[in-house]
Amino acid sequence: MQGKQVFLIPLVFIAVLIPVMIAALLLFRPDESDADCDCAGLPQYSAHSHGMALARENIDSVQLLFNVVDAAEVYDVQDGRLQPVAKPDPNMKHVTVDVLDAEIALGERLPVSVQLIVRDAETGEAVIEEEDAPAMYAPGHGYHFGDNYPLDPGKQYSFHVTISPVQALRVEGTHDRWLEPIEWEGSFSLDEEGNVEGAAMRMEQVGEFSRQGIHVILNAHHAETLYEVVDGEARPVEAMDHDEMGTTRYFAVDVTDHVVNYEEKLVGADVTLTFTQGDTSFDVTLPPVISPVMGFHYGANVELAPGEWTITATVGGLDFQRHAGAAVSLPLGAVSGQFTYTVEEAEM
């Protein structure tokens, strides 16, 4: 009898534990105090900004992106420690090249080496000569090649990029891809203040928050013309003037998964912005939008009176079916965060 009691104890334990675990799985809600992220100390960026490019080209199953932006704060890893390379110099520019798969696994970064040469278009003098441009990693940009380089304002430059064959072993299906070097040329100009002419649209980041496994970033920019597809044709829903800011802004929201598939954008969400100023309050539902700069996001044009506004971003509707492992990692209800945004009187 005593032996039977010994076996009975673990059976009772298992019988109690299994229902408790199932109940915990079904009822679990991540506590907001634990799941929330204070993003104030994080570097601001437009999510997935690798889509922004001063120049882009698809050559031999490779997508190439070329960018010139303000000098970046960069670090080296030495003996397991971060060492700042140098302070960002306003007379320098961050010149970068992205190399991505454009055919098999679209958007995947490719392991290559990059030769970068930039010349003064007037004199032909090489101002940047990199036989093997450094590989870098950045928030919102990912893996790319480049560095900070001194470039004089008020000049036109030409660039020549040589991409090596992919430096990796191959599995059948990729054994006949990326076997030869790729050559790419282009040009860009800096105005007298050192600004890049013809640069891709840069969104103004209003703010960001993390709740229960998702990351929400609110951006703003000048009004955008939006199109809808009718009978297989794209037709403007509303035409907007891009030249003047006025009081209409385009608000764009990125919703990304930061727990299960890190930085993957979440489609099918319900995104609402609530704008409040004094006694005035109204809601705007943001439909899904595709952009050559921001990719997939949720956005809408909104007309605002001058002054300071409180914007509450609410994200819900993530009620798609879930595989085990993603069941409770993402919100089971709506989440929200607040931002402040000011429309200056002079911008009218």
Residue 1: band (very low, low, confident or very high) from pLDDT cuts 50, 70, 90 = low
Are 299 and 252 a contacting pair, CB within 8 Å? yes
pLDDT of residue 326: 81
The percent of residues in the chain predicted with pLDDT above 70, rounded, is 81
- Of 41-45, 204-208, 323-327, the range with the lowest mean pLDDT is 41-45
19-72 residue pLDDT tens = 655 555 544 454 444 445 544 444 444 444 445 688 989 999 999 999 998 898
Residue 348 has pLDDT above 70, yes or no: no
State mean pLDDT over 238-254.
76
Domain locations along the chain: 34-41+201-347, 53-189
State mean pLDDT over 123-142.
91
Which residue bears the tokens 């035409």? 239
More confident residue, 316 or 88: 316
The domain 53-189: what is its CATH number? 2.60.40.2480
Secondary structure string (H, E, C) spanning the chain: CHHHHHHHHHHHHHHHHHHHHHHHHHHCCCCHHHHCECHHHCCCCCCCHHHCCCEEEEECCEEEEEEEEECCCEEEEECCEEEEEECCCCCEEEEEEEEEECCCCCCCECCCCEEEEEEECCCCCEEEEECCCCEEEECCCEEEEEEEEECCCCCEEEEEEEECCCCCCCCCCCCCCCCCCEEEEEEEEECCCCCECCCCCCCEEEEEEEECCEEEEEEEEECCCEEEEECCEEEEEECCCCCCCCCEEEEEEEEEECCCCCCEECCCCEEEEEEEECCEEEEEEECEEEECCCEEEEEEEEECCCEEEEEEEEEECCCCCCCCCCCCCCCCCCEEEEEEEEECHHHC
More confident residue, 245 or 219: 219
The percent of residues in the chain predicted with pLDDT above 90, rounded, is 54
Architecture of domain 34-41+201-347: Sandwich (2.60)
For the entire predicted model, the pTM comes to: 0.71
Residue 259: band (very low, low, confident or very high) from pLDDT cuts 50, 70, 90 = confident
- Of 3-7, 159-163, 180-184, 257-261, the range with the lowest mean pLDDT is 3-7
Check for a shared fold between 34-41+201-347 and 53-189: yes
Residue 186: band (very low, low, confident or very high) from pLDDT cuts 50, 70, 90 = very high
CA 342 – CA 310 distance, rounded (Å): 9
More confident residue, 77 or 263: 77
CA 97 – CA 161 distance, rounded (Å): 8
More confident residue, 161 or 9: 161
pLDDT of residue 6: 55
pLDDT of residue 347: 45
